[in-house]
Amino acid sequence: MYIVKIQGTTKIPDFIQIRDDDFTLIAYFRINNPRRALMRCRLIDREKEIIELARKLPYGKIQKLEFQP
């Protein structure tokens, strides 16, 4: 899986995209409201890790998500 941080505008907030290995979009959410999107794609147990990584990630950079057991 991959994570991408998309910069918003004055009217549109910043968003986070999570994509699978085929680069298909599986989650799209605002960084301050991820719970519903992460529940839908069954990543709610990794919410803290994903948000921490998303906050540090520069805009437009694609990074592979690698979870620690």
Would residue 29 count as lying in a domain? Answer: yes
The model's pLDDT over 9-68, given as tens digits with 9 standing for 90+, comes to 888 888 999 999 999 999 999 888 888 888 888 988 988 888 888 889 999 999 998 876
Residues with Cβ within 8 Å of residue 19, at least 6 apart in sequence: 1, 2, 3, 4, 25, 26
* Number of structural domains found in the chain: 1
Would residue 69 count as lying in a domain? Answer: no
Its pTM stands at: 0.81
Would residue 51 count as lying in a domain? Answer: yes
Residues with Cβ within 8 Å of residue 26, at least 6 apart in sequence: 1, 18, 19, 20, 41
Residues with Cβ within 8 Å of residue 51, at least 6 apart in sequence: 31, 34
The parent domain of residue 28 ranges over: 2-64
Would residue 35 count as lying in a domain? Answer: yes
Would residue 49 count as lying in a domain? Answer: yes
Residues with Cβ within 8 Å of residue 36, at least 6 apart in sequence: 29
